[in-house]
């Protein structure tokens, strides 16, 4: 019986860490309970739903000012690990380097080459050039790193 209670308590802790968070969790970030009630009345019952809602939709909720919307959105983003800003995604995309495959036609198909920071699967028939492509990519990366370090 005691093991069941411990297992249930463990599941509740995991749900709190991974599941959708109730909007009441925003109180820990300084959001007033009256504002949380307004969010719930508007149909926003989880932190994620608040974080994913467009700003203009939040501004249409009666009794919530622009300053409160900014504070609520900031709290929702901080609380939910799955929310990120487009500017953050853009900054990550700027760091990606396109590595040439050594073939203009293949680079055209791949829209510029293979991207760093991602996994590219290469498959095909026996003796179709998979290993040759991998060797070419290895040399391309090494030569590029060598010349970049010289400049």
Does the pLDDT of residue 113 top 80, yes or no? yes
Using alpha carbons, list the distances in angstroms from residue 34 to 68, 114, 139, 140. 12, 51, 62, 60
Least confident residue range of 5-9, 65-69, 99-103, 125-129: 5-9
CA angle 27, 30, 33 (to 5 degrees): 45
Listed in order, the ranges of the chain carrying CATH 1.10.150.20 are: 2-85
Per-residue model confidence as pLDDT tens digits over 19-65: 678 889 888 888 999 999 999 999 999 988 888 889 899 999 999 99
3-state secondary structure of 114: strand
Quick one: fold of 2-85?
DNA polymerase; domain 1 (1.10.150)
Kindly report the pTM of this predicted structure: 0.48
């Amino acid at each position: 019986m005691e093991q069941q209670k411990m297992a249930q308590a463990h599941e509740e802790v995991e749900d709190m860490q991974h599941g959708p968070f109730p909007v009441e969790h925003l109180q820990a970030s300084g959001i007033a309970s009256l504002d949380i009630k307004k969010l719930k009345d508007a149909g926003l019952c989880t932190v994620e739903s608040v974080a994913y809602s467009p700003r203009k939709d939040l501004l249409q909720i009666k009794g919530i000012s622009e300053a409160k919307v900014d504070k609520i959105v900031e709290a929702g983003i901080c609380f939910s690990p799955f929310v990120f800003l487009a500017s953050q995604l853009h900054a990550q995309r700027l760091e990606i380097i396109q590595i040439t495959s050594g073939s203009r036609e293949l680079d055209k198909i791949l829209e510029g080459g293979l991207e760093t920071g991602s996994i590219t699967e290469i498959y095909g028939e026996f003796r179709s050039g998979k290993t040759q492509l991998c060797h070419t990519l290895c040399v391309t990366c090494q030569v590029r790193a060598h010349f970049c370090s010289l400049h």
